[in-house]
Amino acid sequence: MAVSGFEGFEKRLELHFSGDDRKNVGSSFGLGLRLLDFETLQHVLHAVQCTVVSAVANHYFDAYVLSESSLFVYPTKIIIKTCGTTQLLKSVPPLLRHASLDLGLTLVFCRYTRGNFIFPNAQPFPYTNFQNEVVYLEESLPDSLCYRKANVMPSKTPSHAWHVFSASTENTTCPFGEDDSDGGLFTLEICMTELDRDLARNFFLRPGTEYDGDSAGKEMTALTGISGINPRALICDFAFDPCGYSMNGIYGNRHSTIHVTPEDGYSYASFECVGSVYDDRDDVVRVLKKVVQIFRPATMSVSTTCASHEVWMRVAGALEPLGLKCRSCSVDEFPASGNVVYQTFVDRRSKKNNNNTPVQNCHKVVDANAHIGLEKN
């Protein structure tokens, strides 16, 4: 492992709002948060220490590729995902201020998640310690979000753990979501380390060739097979110099995103997507198979956020036939998030992972409440 390098593991923030103006958020044509102008978004991202490099939109939401990951803006929901040493939580105060003063919107839900940093000592305060992050968030949120919970979901893989903070105005486990009144939507957040070296080279610019980020990104998307993960999605992609790649996919009201740090010694890739429990059962299997084929990681973690227990079982069923054995599986329940199931997998072919450590039954979860946590209501 390198002593120092670029931090691939992202911090992810999701904020949901509500409002009384039906012209803004209460109808199918309501724009809500999408009315925030680009200058305002730039101001928010400046505090986070990143910028917009590319963008795309449809009828439902706007998607921005950032210099460090992604931003998604829905009428009543914002998702910001940033890597490196960015100051993600500094986006909360200006976002709440602009949503309230400019649009009359009120925050009703917040969720913050991240994995284990590869270079934790390089992170600025408060990201050096999850407890500090929780305190920072709690001080930034209004008192109306009184149902709060934080937990670190561990695994038997030392490099992976899942940090979750959730806060809501309502004492419910039903997830907030865009057009998700039936509670059927789920979110997969996948973190992969130790990528196959040959496959990781696909995310380096070829020496001596002049590219701009957009055209190089499109070439990487086609070359690696990323375009085949969801062929129906509109893709906005970008390649960085000398290496690295980001992509946002939009399909209807669902987003997907990929970010790649391909350097040997600290290679990392993430994949996030939204699906529904009412989709074809084979969709999750097909998507996960393609993701594994593109990166072939030695270690992989999957966080599934959903009101249903059905999806995470599909995850295990999809990955185990691909040569990935389950090392650990835990579950916890968070306010207005439903269940979070955290599973870790290792490549059976890897000599590093070929030991006598017992394999966790990924069809049986372990309650994560027994581990480090903070709860307030």
191 belongs to the catalytic site: no
Q: Which of 246, 270, 301, 303 is catalytic?
A: 246
Paired tokens of 306: 């959903």
Q: Is 6 labelled a binding residue?
A: yes
Looking up tokens 């581990």, which residue turns up?
A: 371
Tell me if residue 69 is catalytic: yes
Q: Cα separations (Å) of 205 from 11, 46, 165, 215?
A: 26, 27, 37, 11
Residue 211, phi then psi, degrees to nearest 5: -135, 155
Q: Give strand ranges (E) for 59-129.
A: 62-66, 69-73, 77-82, 106-114
Is 10 known to sit in a ligand binding site?
no
Residue 272, token pair as written in the block: 């996030």
Q: Which two tokens stand for residue 171?
A: 């004492």
Determine whether the annotation assigns residue 333 to a binding site.
Answer: no
List Cα–Cα distances, 361 to 183, 191, 327, 329, 358, in angstroms. Answer: 27, 20, 8, 8, 9
- Active-site option among 69, 166, 168, 267: 69
Contacts 24+ apart (CB under 8 A), 358-363: 359/325, 359/326, 359/327, 360/156, 360/326, 360/327, 360/328, 360/329, 361/326, 361/329, 362/312, 362/313, 362/315, 362/316, 362/320, 362/326, 362/329, 363/313, 363/316
Neighbours of 47 (CB within 10 A): 17
| Closest among 292, 301, 369, 296 to 329, alpha carbons compared | 301
Beta bridge partners of 321: none
Active site residue 246: yes
Please indicate if the annotation marks 345 as binding a ligand. Answer: no
- Pick the catalytic residue from 50, 83, 191, 326: 83
Q: What are phi and psi of 319, to 5 degrees?
A: -85, -35
Instruction: Single out the catalytic residue among 98, 155, 259, 270.
Output: 259
Give the list of residues 6+ apart from residue 204 with CB closer than 8 angstroms, or none.
Answer: 242, 243, 262
Please confirm, yes or no, whether 43 is among the known catalytic residues.
Answer: no
- The Cα-based distances of 208 to 219, 283, 372 in angstroms read 16, 40, 50
Annotated binding site: 6, 68, 240, 263
Would you please indicate which residues are annotated as catalytic (active-site) residues?
69, 83, 246, 259
Annotated binding site for substrate: 6, 68, 240, 263
